[in-house]
Amino acid sequence: MKAHVHVMLKDGVLDPQGEAVRHALGGLGFDGVQGVRQGKVIELDLADGTSEDTVRDMCEKLLANTVIESYRIEMA
Amino acid sequence: MKAAVVVFPGSNCDRDLATAFRKAGCDVTMVWHKDTDLPKGTDIVGLPGGFSFGDYLRCGAIAANSPICRAVKAHGEKGGYVLGICNGFQVLTETGLLPGALLRNAGLKYICRTVGLTVATSDSVYTRGYNAGDRIQVPIAHHDGNYTVGADELAALKEEDRIAFTYDSNPNGSDGDIAGILSANRRVLGMMPHPERAAEADQGGTDGARLFAHLAEVMAQA
């Protein structure tokens, strides 16, 4: 089984990389891009029966830094 | 005074840090990240600069979960001294020994140059050799030094006089121009600038030497 963990900077935390991407899109003529936030997706290949709680524990301990990041788990 | 300098795969300032500790009169033991215990009688742990574990996932995140860091965390939590420089500061925030986090520099560029700092407090073993308000020159070399902390925590850092150093001209977007902070018990210091690279004249500056000299002096008395 697989799980996908989406990690994003929390709202309110400045994302300079997302901001640079926004500028670059503007430079390419894509008007109206009002904001870009860049995050990451971590794909986990798990033993069958692994619970979402276990994945949440992984997020809290390592995969996300909850001081600045939020995460969302998708169990596939 | 006994110092233990932790070496992670990708550390590159470990020997500079060990040299600065030794020059100040410390016995230094290098400790490998897979070790589970600090040497007996360790007074201070040094977490060096570099790119531990290739900065994978987040700077310092994997190092913070290495076996030795469990011992470092325990050492810090029971009142031991820990000095984290650059990547070491990132490791300290990841372990939770210091608040906040270090994000990508606001200008997105890796910055490697000597910058002006102001010593914000002399009330710690690390900054006792300076006067609050002293201006010093110390090199920085980082891509992720943008210190970010919640408004309440920033207010607490100021209120509790826990900001150790500030940038005279903010190079990376850090909240409050912060270059280094102390733990609540003032025994853990994390800072992005490299005092070990300004510890002898041949390095082009000696403003960092006082940090190590006074640290060793205070601990020798303890």
Predicted complex ipTM: 0.87
Closest in B57, B103, B173 to A68, CB measured? B103
Q: State which residue of chain B sits closest to A42, comparing Cα positions.
A: B57
Cα gap B17→B97, rounded to integer Å: 20
Burial of A38 (0-12, 13-18, 19+ CB in 10 A): middle
Query: Domain boundaries in chain A?
Result: 2-75
Cα gap A52→A58, rounded to integer Å: 10
Segment 18-57 of chain A within 8 Å of chain B by CB: 20
Q: Give B77-122 pLDDT, tens digit per residue.
A: 999 999 999 999 999 999 999 999 999 999 999 999 999 999 999 9
Contact residues for A39 (Cβ-Cβ < 8 A; gap 6+): A6, A7, A8, A9
Name the CATH superfamily for A2-75: Phosphoribosylformylglycinamidine synthase subunit PurS (3.30.1280.10)
Q: Is A68 on the interface with B (CB under 8 A)?
A: yes
Q: Which CATH number applies to B2-221?
A: 3.40.50.880
Q: Is the dihedral of CA B153, B112, B114, B19 positive or negative?
A: positive
C-alpha distance from residue B22 to each of A10, B16, B29, B30, B211 (Å): 42, 10, 10, 12, 13
* Residue B196 annotated as catalytic: yes
Cα gap B185→B127, rounded to integer Å: 14
CB contact under 8 A, A68 and B101: yes
B108/chain A closest Cα distance in angstroms: 7
A67/chain B closest Cα distance in angstroms: 7
Catalytic residue among B86, B94, B142, B214: B86
Closest in A20, A61, A65 to B101, CB measured? A65
* Residue B86 annotated as catalytic: yes
Tens of pLDDT along chain B (222 residues) come to: 899 999 999 999 999 999 999 999 999 999 999 999 999 999 999 999 999 999 999 999 999 999 999 999 999 999 999 999 999 999 999 999 999 999 999 999 999 999 999 999 999 999 999 999 999 999 999 999 999 999 999 999 999 999 999 999 999 999 999 999 999 999 999 999 999 999 999 999 999 999 999 988 887 776
Closest in A9, A16, A68 to B106, CB measured? A16
* Residue B194 annotated as catalytic: yes
Residue B29 CB neighbour total at 10 angstroms = 15
Residue position matching structure tokens 């899109």: A25
